[in-house]
Structure formats: C-alpha cells, structure tokens
C-alpha cells in the first residue's frame, strides 16, 4: 500500500472526523489545540518529529478506516522504524494529544451543561434530583417524598488506589489550559483579544509538552492526600452547596432563598487516603494523623475565608435590621473573649451587628486552625450554633433573603464537611489482625507490626478527640470471612487503650470480597450483631449498619458475569436480613473505575440494585482517574452529584423496586444459566496450567508495577505464579493496556450462547435493569478493545490454546452484545459514547504499536540480560498514553 500524498492525507483525516459527527464547537477546539501542539512539535528542536508524528497518525487512521491487513502492517512498520529515542518522542506527542482531546471533550460537556442551566426548563431534566422528587411524589405523595429527600445520603469515598496514570504536574497544566479555553470562548463571544488567549494557550501547551509525563518516584501517602485536597479546594468545597441550592431552587420556585430550605445536606465525603493500610506498609499511624491534619487545615481555611467574605457583605444597619436578643448576647460573649479584635471590628462596622459577629466568628475559625485554645471552637456544632443565631436574628429582623442566601450556603458547608472535611476511614486485612492477636496472646514484647496495629487505634482516638467523632471511626476489615474477624477489631482497640484507657468510637465494617464470602455474608452478619461491642454500637446509632462489597476480587475470582450476578444476590440477601432485623442498612460499594472492577455509569447501576438495598443511601469508592474525571471540574461535579442523588432517590420508588423484583424473578433461569456457563468458561482460561505466567508475558503486567502511580504495591508477593498473587488493579490495567479488556467481559459470550434465545435476551435487555447495565458496560469495554492489536499481544506468548480461547470468546461476546442491543455495531444505541471511542481509537492504536515494539524487545531479550532502560521507558510512556487515550486504567 502506497504512502498517501498530503492531499490524500488531509482528505482521509477530514472524512474520518466527519464520520464521527463531532459537534462543531468541539471540533474547532480539537483542531485549535492540535494545531498548537503541532506548532510546539515543530519548534521543539527535534528535526522531523512533527513529520514522523503525522506519518504515524495518518497511517493509523488509514488502518482504522480501511480495516485491511496491509494498512495495519504499514502502520506497524512505521512504528517499528523509529529509533528508540524518536519512538519516545512520538509516544509523548500522542499522549499530549490525548490530554488535549480529553480537555476539549470535557470543555464541550461543560459548555452543554451551562447552556442547559441557562434554559428555563433546566429543573425538569429527567435525571435531576428535582425531577426524581416529582416522580417519587407522584407515587408516594408529597409528604413521604419530602421525608425521603431529607433523609437522602450520597457518600463518595476517595481512595489512593494507584489508577491515575498522569502526573499531578500534568493535571495542573491541563486545569490551567481549561481556564484558558474558557477565556478563549469569552474572547470569541465578546470580541476580546483572541490572539492573546491563543498565545497563552500555546505557552501552556508548550509547558505540557516539556513536562515529564512519568513520575520520577512513587508518591508518598501524604502526597496522595494533597492531591485529593486539590479536588476539594478547586471544586467540591463550592460545588456541593451549589447542588443543594439548585435542588432547593427547583423545588421551592420563586420562594427559594426567601424562606428556610427544604433541602438538607445529603453529601458526605469519605477518604481512604492515608487510612487504607491493607497491603500498603507506607500508611502508618503517623501518616493517618497527618492526613487528618492536612484535611482539617484545608476545610478550616476554607470556612474561615467564606465566613469572612459573607460577613463583609452583611452591611445591614441596625435600624433597618435590628439584632435579636440572642445575637446581642452572642456579641457580648465573643467580644469579651477577643476584646482588641472586637473593638477594631466594631469601629470598622459601626451599627452593623450581623457583620461584626461573622467577622469575629472568622477569627475563631482561624484560632481553631492555629490551635489557639483561648479562642478556638471545640467542635463544628458550636460554630453551627453561632451561625444559626445570626440566621435567626436576620429572619426576626425581616431579612430572610440574607438569612437564607450566602449564609445558608455556609451552613451547608459546615454541615457537610465539619472541621474534618473528609471522614477518614481505616482499612486493614483480617489476617493481619489475627496474626497480631495471636502474637499478643503469646506474651513477650510486641513486634513492630503489632505495635503499629495498636498505634492505629490510638490515632483514631486522638483524631476523634481533636476533630470530632465524624473525623474517623469507620474501620473496614478486608477479607471478612467470619464474625471473629470483626470482633478482633474491638479486642485490638481494648488492648491499645490499656486498662481504664479511653476507647475510640468504632463502626466496624465487614468487607466481603470473594464469591464464597459474598454467599456467607448474611450468616456472618447474623453472628456479629450478637457480639457485645457490636450490639452496643448498633443500638447507639439507631441500629444503623454499613456493609462493604468488593467488586474487584469477586470479578477476578469467578469472572465478571458470575461476579455481577453474585453481587446482586448478596445485596438482596443482606437487605432482606437487615429488614427482618430492623437494621438501617447502608451498602458500601467498592467499585473501581474500570468495568472489570465494578466501574461504569453509577446512576444506571444504582437503579438496577435489588429492592431495599439502597433505601435512600448510597456509598461507593471513587478511585484514581475517576476522582478527577467526575470531580475535577465544578460543572461536571455538580452534574454527577445531581445525577447520582436522583438515582438514589428513585431507586427506592415502588415502581423501580417492583421492576427489579419482577425482572429478577422472571429471568432467574436465564441468570442461573449465564452464571454456570460464564464461570465454566472463565475457569477454563484462568485455571489452565501456566495461565498466570502466560498472562504476565502477553501483557505489560510486570512493567505496570514499575509505574510510580501510587504508594501502594501492585502485587502481594515477589512473583506472579497465580491470580491470588496479583491485586485486582494490575489485573484489569494489564488487560486494558493489551487492548483486550478481558476483565470486563470474558465469559459473557458463552453465557449468552448457553441461553441461546435471541428474542428472550432482547426482552431481558428491555425489562431487566441488571442485565441491561451488564450488557451496556460490556459493550463499552469491547468498543475500547481492538482485535488486531490484541492478536499481536497474544502472540507474545507461547500458548496458542489460551490465545485462541481469548480470541474466540471476544468474537462470540461481541456478536451476542450487538444482537442483544439490536444494532449493527457496538454502542450503536449510545452514539455520544460511540463517537468518543471512535475518535480516539486510531490514536490509541499508534501508542499500542509503540508499546508492542517495546514489549517485544523486552520479552525477546536473552534470559539474564540486563533490562534495556530505553525500551522500558518507552513502554512506560506508552502505558501512560494509552491510559489517557482510553480514559481509564484499573
């Protein structure tokens, strides 16, 4: 096949872009950013770099559109022809391009959200909290719907699981570019200096290009804490109260802001960052204390600044807005404690009593942050009480708009975040507890590990004393397999406190991860609620209980299909047990970002849950790249929270629960057939002799462990001889990099083939939410896979039988998913998602070809030869780039 002329290449790219039907504004953004990157590459000082990038880009687009072996071979030959140094530069260029395309796509989403917000029918969006409330009220009545709205709880928990492939420095550059894109839009609207905006973007794109894409070393746990704090500072602190305001505006209409809100704060933010020590020896008791301190400093500084800002706006004269008796008494108390500041504030704010109070409250918050015991607040409840005195005074004085305006948003922020910001959760493996207890029972001086385990409980007690009981106290036990695993936590807490010592308040949460543990969950729960400490805590909380379900290990255990079905059954059984025992259950979903780890759209997954398993409460882990994708931009964060909260509210509606109950009964035989067939197919692969080393050879699994993604090790041992040695994240990450995505779909084709009735399966897709969610997620997973690239990865191994098994199951699954969804190709019923995948695919192919040449060189090296550092670096660069292109890792 001949190399295309410049005219032919331009025509090919134009046709490819036109086929994707990209919105015009987004197309313009992509072209502009791509043009700026091209200019940076031409100016880079590396002769011919831009031309080489273009050659590979055009070749991979041609291979993607022509789908001929000759076109693909030509693209592979170009990738192989580069020197290692040039391949390194080309990989960096494609990675930078993906960051820019992702930015353009995110900017388009924000643009659409803002246009929607400007329309008068915004509150009637079908998947908003306001719309969900209206639908729920139509079924259960206004009063019951309002009760459920006010009891609503959405609890995302941020984790430091190593799934964010891009550096924080790269993320910061992209955020700056996002702001510049906003300025560019404004310049187009307002006729401002467009050239100035583009010049500044060119400077930032050049910075992005010059920023090393790989971290030089793994981040420490405190580095991970600070990365999460950036999301809080830039989006969550203001986005969450804005969500509350939007919902209240929609429900109260013109009266909103002039009377007390009907919305109560329904978001709580948790964190494992600095608390999750399961398999991470770098998370110590000292790190946990430091994590809580950093979070508290951030939220106290935010509250201090907000209080001061709101105070400065309350320039309400006492003659028009007289203070209440309670407000005057509060002033007397505050001024007596801080006389000099009170005198100065009174002089600057004469006859403005509400303003003066808030400015003094801001000083008390500063004292709290600085640990000034004379002025500091003891806890956030005392601060809330003072704010409510101000609010009540404003209402009594006839100023409800000031009472329920910015001041209300400050109240919401305190109610949501307290003085701790994130509710820090500790996680440890049950085997560690058992080992330490056995050691302590044997007597003698405690080992370093035992001392560290005991110090964790002392740290929890310290954090509760300093920041309040909400700051810490949830303790998750990984691989819970018996009631004794949970009782061990209370025993260790007693040993840590010593005779007469203060015990921390603990909510011990079982984490059921494997298939067998999921099945045993109701029995284990029935035993543990009889345990004295557990029973006492249950009564103290109004019989509230959290139970965590692990998606990752169950999927690696029995395959994605059987795991999804088992998780549904486990949730149904646990929910039924909780209802029988009068327990208010919250299920905590340990979902990853990737489909093989329970990822996918959260709102559709919520609506597919079993009856009574949600009941207005939903808690899940948010990991790695998902944190920044969902919460990195304020508009997207607000939209995500609104959508998820709407699904939580609707999940417990009579119609939704009946639909899920009826579908589960109607398709029980289908589920049983799928479970058996998918599990048999999955076991035929993963239990085949030599599977684990073959998997390590045909994917970059070993090399992924070299990426400085997070502080947590990627594997449990030194070598991978079985799947048990491997953590779920690299299991998913490696298959994703090989463009196979096996962890998200393997076994589904055989499961659907075993059912065999196409019409029945199409009805199930229409009527059974769990099945529809599974099929849609697999469709997305397969759309991001690539047969031709996968074939080359599989050829790196010496097991034709296993390679054929993977290829055959992929083809079978793809065929069945297309037939079940009624289309002609994958994602035909989801055109926006399909467009996003297709737009990226040929560019991801370019990086995959570069990764393949590096992986082949590393695999073909003579045994015992030193690793080629240049090839290894090229491979790691391509891993980062493919992750950016596919927009997920593990």
User: How does pLDDT run across 754-807, given as a tens digit for each residue?
Assistant: 999 999 999 999 999 999 999 999 999 999 999 999 999 999 999 999 999 999
How much is the pLDDT for 718? 40
145-192 pLDDT, tens digit each: 999 999 999 999 998 754 455 677 888 899 899 999 988 888 877 666
* Segment 403-419 mean pLDDT: 97
288-307 pLDDT, tens digit each: 999 999 999 999 999 999 99
Structure tokens at 833: 């998602």
Categorize the per-residue pLDDT at 888 as very low, low, confident or very high, splitting at 50, 70 and 90. Answer: low
Total number of residues shown for the chain: 890
Q: Is 355 exposed, middle or buried (0-12, 13-18, 19+ CB in 10 A)?
A: buried
Residue 597 has pLDDT above 70, yes or no: no
How much is the pLDDT for 185? 87
Return the SS3 of 155.
strand
Matching residue, tokens 């209240």: 248
CA 661 to chain centre: 29
Residue 714 has pLDDT above 70, yes or no: no
Matching residue, tokens 């950036």: 230
CA 550 to chain centre: 15
Q: Is 263 exposed, middle or buried (0-12, 13-18, 19+ CB in 10 A)?
A: buried
Categorize the per-residue pLDDT at 596 as very low, low, confident or very high, splitting at 50, 70 and 90. Answer: very low
Return the SS3 of 595.
helix
How much is the pLDDT for 223? 86
Helices 800-821 & 748-755 angle (0-180, nearest 10): 60
Return the SS3 of 573.
helix
Active site positions, annotated: 161, 556
Return the SS3 of 19.
helix
Identify whether the C-beta of residue 490 lies closer than 8 Å to the C-beta of residue 537: no
Rounded to whole angstroms, how far apart are CA atoms 612 and 592? 23
Show Cβ contacts of residue 349 under 8 Å, excluding neighbours closer than 6 positions.
315, 355, 356, 359
Identify whether the C-beta of residue 569 lies closer than 8 Å to the C-beta of residue 530: no
**Which of 5-14, 558-567, 663-672, 766-775 is predicted with the least confidence, judged by mean pLDDT?**
5-14
- 457 DSSP 8-state letter: H
Q: Which of 385, 405, 381, 384 is nearest to 394 (CA)?
A: 405
**CA-angle at 309, arms to 304 and 315, nearest 5°:** 130
CB count in 10 Å sphere of residue 193 = 11
Q: Which of 219, 233, 238, 287 is nearest to 472 (CA)?
A: 287
Rounded to whole angstroms, how far apart are CA atoms 171 and 158? 17
Rounded to whole angstroms, how far apart are CA atoms 250 and 128? 10
Alpha helices in 768-863 (DSSP H): 769-784, 787-794, 800-821, 831-859
Q: Tell me the C-alpha to C-alpha distance, in Å, between residue 34 and each of 27, 45, 79, 109, 538.
A: 10, 18, 21, 19, 57
Residue 263 has pLDDT above 90, yes or no: yes
Structure tokens at 544: 């509230």
Alpha helices in 67-154 (DSSP H): 69-81, 84-117, 129-140, 142-150
Return the SS3 of 153.
strand
DSSP string for residues in 27-86 = HHHHHHHHHHHHHHHHTSS-TTHHHHHHHHHHHHHHHHHH--HHHHHHHHHHHHHS-HHH
How much is the pLDDT for 137? 97
Matching residue, tokens 């004379």: 374
Residue 752 has pLDDT above 90, yes or no: yes
Rounded to whole angstroms, how far apart are CA atoms 521 and 570? 7
Identify whether the C-beta of residue 175 lies closer than 8 Å to the C-beta of residue 633: no
Rounded to whole angstroms, how far apart are CA atoms 722 and 269? 36
Show Cβ contacts of residue 657 under 8 Å, excluding neighbours closer than 6 positions.
611, 612, 651
**CA-angle at 376, arms to 370 and 380, nearest 5°:** 105
What residues are paired with 817 via a beta bridge? none
What residues are paired with 715 via a beta bridge? 726
Q: Which of 21, 40, 124 is nearest to 89 (CA)?
A: 40
How much is the pLDDT for 192? 63
Structure tokens at 853: 């040449």
332-346 pLDDT, tens digit each: 999 999 999 999 999
Q: What are the helix and strand counts (H, E) for the chain?
A: 40, 8
Categorize the per-residue pLDDT at 687 as very low, low, confident or very high, splitting at 50, 70 and 90. Answer: very high
What residues are paired with 418 via a beta bridge? none
* Segment 684-704 mean pLDDT: 93
Residue 751 has pLDDT above 70, yes or no: yes
How much is the pLDDT for 432? 97
Residue 123 has pLDDT above 50, yes or no: no
What residues are paired with 304 via a beta bridge? none
Categorize the per-residue pLDDT at 710 as very low, low, confident or very high, splitting at 50, 70 and 90. Answer: low
Identify whether the C-beta of residue 594 lies closer than 8 Å to the C-beta of residue 888: yes
Structure tokens at 878: 């391509």
Q: Phi and psi at residue 547, in whole multiples of 5°?
A: -135, 130
How much is the pLDDT for 245? 97
Mean pLDDT of the chain: 91
Rounded to whole angstroms, how far apart are CA atoms 446 and 455? 12
Residue 455 has pLDDT above 50, yes or no: yes
Categorize the per-residue pLDDT at 602 as very low, low, confident or very high, splitting at 50, 70 and 90. Answer: confident
DSSP string for residues in 312-360 = HH----TTTSPPPHHHHHHHHHHHHHSHHHHHHHHHHSTT-HHHHHHHH
Show Cβ contacts of residue 514 under 8 Å, excluding neighbours closer than 6 positions.
479, 550, 553, 554, 557
What b-and-e string marks burial along 648-686, b requiring 16 or more CB atoms within 10 Å of the CB?
bbbbbbeebbebbeebbeebeebbebbbebbbebbeebb
Rounded to whole angstroms, how far apart are CA atoms 582 and 591? 27
How much is the pLDDT for 678? 98
Question: In angstroms, how far is the first alpha carbon of the chain from the final one?
Answer: 37
**CA-angle at 271, arms to 268 and 277, nearest 5°:** 150
Identify whether the C-beta of residue 735 lies closer than 8 Å to the C-beta of residue 806: no
Compare 136 and 726 and report the one with higher pLDDT.
136
Structure tokens at 164: 């964010």
**Which of 101-115, 604-618, 700-714, 724-738 is predicted with the least confidence, judged by mean pLDDT?**
700-714
DSSP string for residues in 647-707 = HHHHHTSHHHHHHHHHHHHHTHHHHHHHHHHHHHHHHHHHTSTTHHHHHHHHSSHHHHTTS
Identify whether the C-beta of residue 353 lies closer than 8 Å to the C-beta of residue 318: yes
Return the SS3 of 824.
coil
640-669 pLDDT, tens digit each: 999 999 999 999 999 999 999 999 999 999
């Amino acid at each position: 096949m001949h190399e295309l002329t410049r005219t032919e290449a331009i025509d090919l790219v134009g046709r490819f872009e036109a086929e994707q039907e990209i919105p015009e504004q987004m197309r313009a953004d992509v072209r502009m950013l791509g043009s700026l990157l091209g200019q940076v590459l031409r100016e880079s000082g590396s002769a011919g770099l831009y031309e080489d990038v273009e050659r590979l880009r055009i070749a991979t687009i041609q291979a993607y559109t022509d789908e001929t072996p000759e076109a693909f071979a030509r693209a592979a030959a170009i990738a192989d022809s580069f020197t290692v140094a040039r391949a390194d530069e080309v990989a960096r260029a494609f990675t930078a391009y993906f960051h820019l395309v992702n930015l353009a796509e995110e900017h388009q989403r924000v643009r659409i959200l803002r246009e929607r917000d400007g329309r008068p029918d915004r509150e009637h969006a079908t998947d908003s909290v306001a719309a969900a409330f209206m639908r729920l009220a139509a079924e259960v009545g206004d009063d019951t719907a309002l009760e459920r709205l006010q009891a609503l709880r959405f609890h995302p928990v941020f984790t430091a699981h190593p799934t964010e492939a891009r550096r924080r420095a790269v993320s910061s550059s992209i955020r700056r570019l996002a702001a510049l894109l906003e300025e560019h839009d404004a310049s187009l609207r307002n006729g401002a200096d467009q050239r100035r905006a583009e010049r500044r973007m060119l400077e930032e794109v050049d910075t992005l290009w010059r920023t090393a894409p790989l971290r030089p070393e793994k981040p420490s746990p405190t580095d991970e804490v600070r990365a999460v704090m950036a999301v809080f500072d830039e989006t969550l602190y203001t986005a969450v109260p804005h969500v509350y305001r939007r919902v209240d505006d929609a429900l109260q209409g013109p009266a909103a802001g002039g009377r007390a809100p009907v919305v109560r704060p329904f978001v709580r933010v948790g964190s494992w960052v600095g608390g999750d020590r399961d398999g991470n020896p770098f998370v110590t008791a000292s790190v946990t204390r430091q994590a809580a301190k950093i979070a508290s400093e951030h939220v106290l500084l935010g509250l201090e600044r907000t209080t001061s800002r709101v105070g400065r706006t309350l320039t309400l004269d006492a003659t028009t807005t007289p203070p209440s008796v309670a407000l005057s008494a509060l002033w007397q108390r505050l001024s007596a404690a801080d006389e000099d500041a009170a005198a100065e504030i009174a002089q600057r704010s004469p006859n403005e009593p509400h303003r003066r109070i808030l400015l003094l409250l801001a000083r008390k918050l500063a004292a709290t942050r600085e640990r000034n015991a004379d002025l500091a607040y003891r806890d956030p409840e005392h601060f809330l009480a003072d704010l409510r005195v101000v609010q009540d005074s404003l209402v009594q004085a006839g100023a409800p708009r000031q009472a329920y305006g910015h001041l209300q948003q400050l109240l919401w922020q305190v109610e949501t975040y307290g003085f701790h910001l994130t509710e820090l959760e500790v996680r440890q493996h049950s085997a560690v507890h058992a080992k330490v207890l056995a050691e302590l029972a044997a007597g003698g001086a405690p080992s370093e590990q035992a001392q560290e385990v005991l110090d964790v409980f002392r740290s929890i007690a310290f954090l509760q004393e300093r920041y309040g009981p909400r700051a810490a106290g949830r303790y998750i036990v990984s691989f819970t397999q018996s009631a004794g695993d949970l009782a061990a936590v209370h025993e260790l807490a007693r040993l840590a406190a010593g005779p007469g010592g203060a015990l921390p308040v603990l909510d011990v949460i079982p984490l059921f991860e494997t298939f067998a543990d999921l099945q045993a969950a109701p029995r284990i729960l029935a035993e543990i609620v009889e345990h004295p400490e557990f029973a006492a805590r249950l009564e103290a909380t109004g019989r509230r209980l959290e139970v965590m379900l692990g998606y990752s290990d169950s999927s690696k255990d029995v395959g994605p299909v059987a795991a999804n079905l088992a998780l549904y059954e486990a949730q149904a059984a646990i929910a039924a047990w909780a209802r029988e025992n009068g327990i208010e259950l919250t299920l905590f979903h340990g979902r990853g970002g990737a489909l093989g780890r329970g990822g996918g759209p959260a709102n559709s997954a919520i609506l597919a849950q079993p009856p009574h398993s949600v009941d207005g409460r939903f808690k899940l882990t948010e990991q790695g790249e998902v944190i920044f994708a969902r919460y990195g931009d304020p508009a997207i964060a607000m939209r995500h929270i609104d959508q998820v909260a709407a699904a939580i509210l609707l999940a417990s509606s009579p119609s939704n629960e009946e639909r899920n109950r009826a579908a589960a009964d109607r398709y029980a035989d289908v589920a049983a057939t799928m479970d058996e067939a998918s599990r048999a197919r999955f076991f035929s692969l993963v239990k085949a002799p030599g599977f684990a080393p073959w998997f390590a050879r045909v994917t970059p699994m070993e090399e992924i462990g070299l990426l400085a993604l997070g502080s947590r090790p990627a594997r449990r041992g030194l070598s991978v001889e079985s799947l048990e040695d491997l953590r779920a994240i690299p299991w998913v990450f490696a298959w994703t990099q090989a463009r196979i995505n096996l962890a998200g779909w393997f076994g589904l084709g055989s499961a659907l083939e075993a059912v065999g009735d196409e019409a029945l399966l199409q009805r199930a897709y229409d009527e059974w939410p769990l099945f529809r969610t599974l099929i849609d997620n697999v469709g997305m997973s397969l759309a991001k896979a690539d047969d031709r690239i996968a074939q080359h990865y599989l050829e790196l191994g010496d097991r034709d039988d296993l390679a054929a098994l993977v290829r055959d199951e992929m083809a079978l699954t793809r065929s069945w998913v297309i037939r079940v969804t009624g289309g002609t190709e994958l994602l035909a019923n989801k055109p926006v998602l399909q467009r996003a995948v297709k737009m990226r695919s040929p560019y991801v192919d370019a990086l995959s070809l570069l990764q393949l040449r590096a992986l082949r060189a590393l695999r073909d090296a003579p045994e015992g030869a030193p690793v080629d550092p240049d090839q290894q670096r090229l491979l790691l660069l391509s891993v980062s780039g493919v992750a950016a292109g596919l927009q997920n890792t593990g």
